[in-house]
Structure 1
Amino acid sequence: MLRRLYEWILALAGKPSAPWALAAVAFAESSFFPVPPDAMLVPMTVSRPERAWHYAAIATLASVAGGLLGYAIGALLFDSLGQWLFKLYGLDGAASTFRESYAQYGHWVILLKGLTPIPYKLVTITSGFAHYSLFWFMLLSVVTRGARFFLLAALLKRYGVSIRGVLDRHLNVVAAISVAVVVLGFVLFKLVL
């Protein structure tokens, strides 16, 4: 099943709808969806390295736009939808602790957590819940998400042929490591708070 999904994403990279699919995943991941856009960005970029910067820009802009939805969930719907999402991810008590960290560390929370494997949706929802400055939230989101996706695009553009060979031969291992990194992100989020 994983192999078919990988091959579907590679085939999708050549279609006009590929950027729209990447944008949808990046948007959703910043507010509620558990799968990071890297799952599409990596195969799409190794398939078409000449489009690396284009794909990174799409992922960045869509991720920041999705972050606005996450911010709105935290600011307007935290007692219902926001708490449910945190509970779904096993982080029931983390939001209030994370909110307190905004008072002490402000900008650093968004900058550092936006680059780590900690799911960005937790940052966006909690930013709204903490009523963090929307201006600074947007600016720092562009910086941190842009840095993440453009750095990944640069690596994929430079080493894409080698990476594609590894993905083709060891897809299950790479997928297992990717899942482990996402799980580690949740664990780190709980431990840091």
Structure 2
Amino acid sequence: MKIFQWMYDKALLWAKHRHAERYLAGLSFTESVIFPIPPDVMLAPMALAQRHKAWRFAWVTTLFSVLGGICGYLLGLWLYEPLVLPTVEYLGHQETFAKVEHWFTTYGVWVVFIAGFSPIPYKLFTVGAGLMQMAFFPFVIASFIGRASRFFLVAGLMYWGGEKMQQKLRDIVDWLGWGTVALGGILYLVYR
């Protein structure tokens, strides 16, 4: 079943849309607060479709992701009890959030940098940083460095890979997609 290849082809078409950069900014912002889909899924095809704008797209993704992270920080700081905690309880993620709190006390600002760069859900750490009342400027600096490192790496790979990267991704996107679905299912079962 070639569902991911079809989605990949559509993503490349949408990446050339005149409002694509705005959508990228919106996705980058919301992913840092609540949305589960990382902006890489939009950044990569956009950087492939318009290689001359790859670095601009990386900047847009980084800046709006950090702004969303600041929003998440403020949610954790000011609205944890009335808004965030009921949502965490409703979704049944109390244990996950307890782990995030533990990581903050153990690793401090480094956990924000790691979450900003890695595929770990960054939104948990933005809200957690506010909840733990982490110093604001170190939070912003760690977020910026982590997010910029990740998004410029993605844009760079697409920029330097060019047409060969585009075709190679198209050839393996179904394997990657189904592998990600399987990994997500396994992680769900393990952490459930």
Q: Is the 8 A contact 1:10 1:47 kept in 2?
A: yes
- Give the letter aligned to residue 111 of structure 2: V
1:7-57 deviations in whole A, cap 9, x for unaligned? 333223223211101011111100000000011011111111121101100
Unaligned runs of 5+ in 1: none
Residue 120 of structure 1 corresponds to 122
Residue 73 of structure 1 corresponds to 75
Aligned partners of 2:186, 2:149: CA distance in 1, in Å? 21
Residue 159 of structure 1 corresponds to 161
Aligned partners of 2:169, 2:90: CA distance in 1, in Å? 30
1:35 aligns with one of 34, 37, 56: 37
Residue 21 of structure 2 corresponds to 19
Number of equivalenced pairs: 189
Q: Is the 8 A contact 1:117 1:181 kept in 2?
A: no
Q: Is the 8 A contact 2:51 2:162 kept in 1?
A: yes
Aligned partners of 1:125, 1:171: CA distance in 2, in Å? 32
Aligned partners of 2:22, 2:133: CA distance in 1, in Å? 31
Which deviates further from its counterpart, 66-75 or 174-183? 174-183
Q: Is the 8 A contact 1:71 1:129 kept in 2?
A: yes
Superposition TM-score, scaled by structure 1 size: 0.84
Q: Is the 8 A contact 2:28 2:38 kept in 1?
A: yes
Residue 48 of structure 2 corresponds to 46
2:52 partner SS: helix
Seq. identity, %: 32
- Give the letter aligned to residue 71 of structure 1: Y
Q: Is the 8 A contact 1:27 1:66 kept in 2?
A: yes
- Give the letter aligned to residue 79 of structure 1: E
Aligned partners of 1:186, 1:27: CA distance in 2, in Å? 25
- Give the letter aligned to residue 45 of structure 1: A
- The equivalences for 1:127-142 within 5 A come to 127-142=129-144
CA RMSD of aligned residues (A): 2.6
How far did residue 166 of structure 1 move? 2.4
Sort the Cα spacing of 1:20 and 1:129 in 2 relative to 1 into closer, same or farther, 3 A. Answer: same
Q: Is the 8 A contact 1:31 1:125 kept in 2?
A: yes
Aligned partners of 1:37, 1:132: CA distance in 2, in Å? 25
Superposition TM-score, scaled by structure 2 size: 0.84
Residue 6 of structure 1 corresponds to 8
Q: Is the 8 A contact 2:54 2:155 kept in 1?
A: yes
Q: Is the 8 A contact 2:27 2:39 kept in 1?
A: yes
